[in-house]
Amino acid sequence: MTSPKKKHKGCGCGCGSIPFSVIILFAIAGYGLFTQREKIDLDRFIPSQLKAEIPFSNSPTAEEASPAQISSPNPAEINPPTLPQTPANIEETIPSPSPTSTEPITPPTSLANSSNSQPNPKPNETQTSPNTTPSPTQKPWKQKNIRGIYLSRYQVTNNASEQKIRERVRYYRSKGINTIIHGVWGNGCTMYKSEVLEKTFGYQSCPNQFQDPWLEWLIDEAHKQNMEVHAYFEKGIKIDKNSPLFDLAVDRRWIVAGVDRTHAGVDHYVLDVGIPEIANLFSEILAEFVQKYPDIDAVQWDDYLGYHAELPGKVDRTAKLTKFVQNAIAAMKKANPNVSFDLCHHNPYWSKRYFAADWKTWDIDRAFIQVYSSENFNDELQYVRANNGISITERQLDRLEEIVKDTRIESILLFPLSGKPEEMAASFHDLMTKIP
């Protein structure tokens, strides 16, 4: 007979006898305890000899953690992007343009080439200067301080009416022009009734038909359109045989020897500014003009203020010309310190060498460089950038986009070599609107 088998005694922890729901409860409690360990001071439940063996028991709390141990970025530690440094010699390498303004029209207060002239603002002016601060959304051509066009003194002949003159101003404004540079002198006479001329020579003005208030109408309408008017002393110190001054000048030996043929097809005779009567004439004319038209914004002379090197004889007239211009400017500023004296000439090297015009020493207010040829165009731009702008003809309109986009070129003057300023203004506007 087989003896009965002994019941095998179980071994282990007896987990099999623990209800499954209890196991689940312990698991949830353990997980919660683990995730909230930083908020519970577990150290007080753990014997000291076991603390070293439990990894998380010595971990610092979030409040105790140093910034270096926190993985989220600290705003103070984020380095800003590095901006390009401005070269230390920026003022030497890139000429700074004159500051612009959105204030009412005032004469220049920081004059690029002037060392002495500091005119006071015009009283009671309410017009806005064409020199407006460019906004980021402005087209590049609208950011130029002066967008000027030359109008010959003959533009006011044939009895141009007030209506026609005002319409002409509005037309140029519509083409993006903000400055009209209008002839008021040329060939030894004025385009207004001059008491100086009448007293000195017995005639009041050039023998052309014009209505006496034409310049007041022009200035008034231009200022209404937020534009400026610069008086253009066309031909400067040169005359031709049609000048009412020619015979007297020959008789009194007021003309230097030789014929000036700077411009092909035109024979000019140059007045000798070293003669006191001639020097005084221009000083008096300038003083009279800025007093007669106190609201004029500037007067401008050009390369006819000079003696061409091809005139006969090795006579250096540089010093005499410098003294003449300085005295004329002083007389003008004394009569009306608010008016700017500007010059549109060849670059300073060329002017001094070939025209005895050392205009860097003349104490002028602004200088614009004539670039009327495509030859050496890029070389001329260095002089343009160093001064107050460029003057071009129709022949340089193919370089207009380059000129406009060059932020170092402060202003653009348009000289209609064709004698058709309306057409040049229209071409300028059409080209400008196509520039991105």
157-179 pLDDT, tens per residue? 778 999 999 999 999 999 999 99
Best CA proximity match to 56, nearest among 27, 28, 29, 33: 33
pLDDT at 319: 97
Q: In percent, how much of the chain has pLDDT > 90?
A: 60
Residue 387: is its pLDDT beyond 60?
yes
CATH number of the domain that 333 lies in? 3.20.20.70
How large is the average pLDDT for residues 221-238? 97
pLDDT at 249: 97
> CA angle at residue 231 from 226 to 236, to 5 degrees?
160
How large is the average pLDDT for residues 40-55? 46
207-220 pLDDT, tens per residue? 888 888 999 999 99
Residue 13 placed within a domain: no
d(CA 282, CA 185): 11
Residue 402: is its pLDDT beyond 80?
yes
Residue 360 placed within a domain: yes
Q: In percent, how much of the chain has pLDDT > 70?
A: 68
Residue 124 placed within a domain: no
Residue 294 placed within a domain: yes
Domain residues for 360?
153-370
pLDDT at 350: 95
User: Residue 137's pLDDT band (boundaries 50, 70, 90)?
Assistant: low
Residue 41: is its pLDDT beyond 90?
no
Residue 132 placed within a domain: no
User: Residue 314's pLDDT band (boundaries 50, 70, 90)?
Assistant: confident
Q: State the total domains in the chain.
A: 1
Mean pLDDT, the chain, integer? 78
Question: Where is average pLDDT lowest: 129-138, 363-372, 389-398?
Answer: 129-138
Residue 121 placed within a domain: no
- Pick the residue with more confidence: 212 or 271? 271
Residue 103 placed within a domain: no
Residue 105: is its pLDDT beyond 50?
no
Residue 338 placed within a domain: yes
Residue 20: is its pLDDT beyond 70?
no
Residue 244: is its pLDDT beyond 80?
yes
